[in-house]
């Protein structure tokens, strides 16, 4: 039986390449590395969108970046799912939205509610949820702060808050910061090596969640 995992995230999941521009090669993106690490009988569906927030509107974009609006459609189109890996929050911390972690944590809580309460059809059940805290922001090589006014010190608080939320809601939690470091080009995104490292680091917690 194939176990199906939905990777729901932002540009870190889509594969933005801060070094060369554009998008990482398919084989370098973390959902691909995760699927290969899990081996036969596992399928990882990549659902990453640049700029996606947990539950905040971005009216400066030409497309809807609100994760809370996109998630129900993803659950409907990709079910049945065994697990959903949610790695969001880095965009919520843009200065134009909410430069503290409170908005991201509230939004992540809303995403958990959506997964748990969605009206799954044909006797399908809600997937397990693994909340993933994104890599820490870093300063740019030129000494400026991370892209879009994000605060390094605030981003570092996200893991603890997500861990607390996961514990309260019965979800899994994983902090990728010890395993992947953002590029100093923009202070947010990952180069190819760190993107692969992120996928490799998720193999063990995903296996644990799937039992």
The pLDDT of residue 172: 98
Class of domain 3-210: alpha beta
For residue range 150-206, list pLDDT tens digits in order. 999 999 999 999 999 999 999 999 999 999 999 999 999 999 999 999 999 999 999
pTM beyond 0.95:
yes
**Sheet containing strand 172-175, strands side by side:** 42-48, 3-9, 83-87, 128-133, 172-175
Summarize the confidence of residues 8-15 as an average pLDDT. Answer: 98
**Euclidean distance between CA atoms 132 and 117, whole angstroms:** 20
Question: What are the φ and ψ backbone dihedral angles of 85, each rounded to 5 degrees?
Answer: -100, 115
Q: Which residue in 122, 90, 117, 132 sits closest to 5, CA to CA? A: 132
For residue range 59-102, list pLDDT tens digits in order. 999 999 999 999 999 999 999 999 999 999 999 999 999 889 99
Summarize the confidence of residues 96-123 as an average pLDDT. Answer: 97
Q: Break the chain into its structural domains and give their ranges.
A: 3-210
Q: Which residues of 113-131 are buried (b: 16+ CB within 10 A; e: fewer)?
A: ebbeebebeeeeebbbbbb
């Amino acid at each position: 039986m194939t176990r199906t995992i939905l990777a729901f995230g932002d540009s870190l999941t889509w594969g933005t390449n801060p070094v060369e521009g554009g998008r990482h090669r398919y084989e370098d993106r973390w959902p691909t590395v995760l699927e290969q690490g899990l081996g036969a009988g596992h399928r990882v569906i990549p659902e990453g969108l640049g700029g996606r927030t947990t539950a905040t509107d971005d009216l400066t974009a030409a497309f809807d970046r609100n994760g809370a609006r996109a998630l129900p459609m993803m659950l409907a189109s990709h079910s049945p799912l065994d697990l959903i890996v949610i790695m969001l929050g880095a965009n919520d911390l843009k200065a134009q939205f909410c430069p503290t972690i409170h908005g991201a944590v509230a939004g992540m809580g809303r995403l958990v509610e959506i997964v748990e309460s969605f009206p799954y059809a044909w006797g399908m059940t809600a997937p397990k949820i693994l909340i993933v805290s994104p890599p820490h922001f870093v300063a740019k090589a030129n000494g400026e702060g991370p892209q879009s006014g994000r605060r390094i010190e605030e981003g570092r608080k996200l893991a603890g808050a997500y861990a607390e939320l996961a514990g309260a809601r019965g979800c899994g939690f994983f902090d990728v910061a010890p395993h992947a470091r953002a590029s100093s080009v923009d202070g947010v995104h990952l180069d190819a090596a760190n993107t692969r490292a992120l996928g490799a680091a998720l193999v063990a917690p995903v296996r644990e969640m799937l039992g």
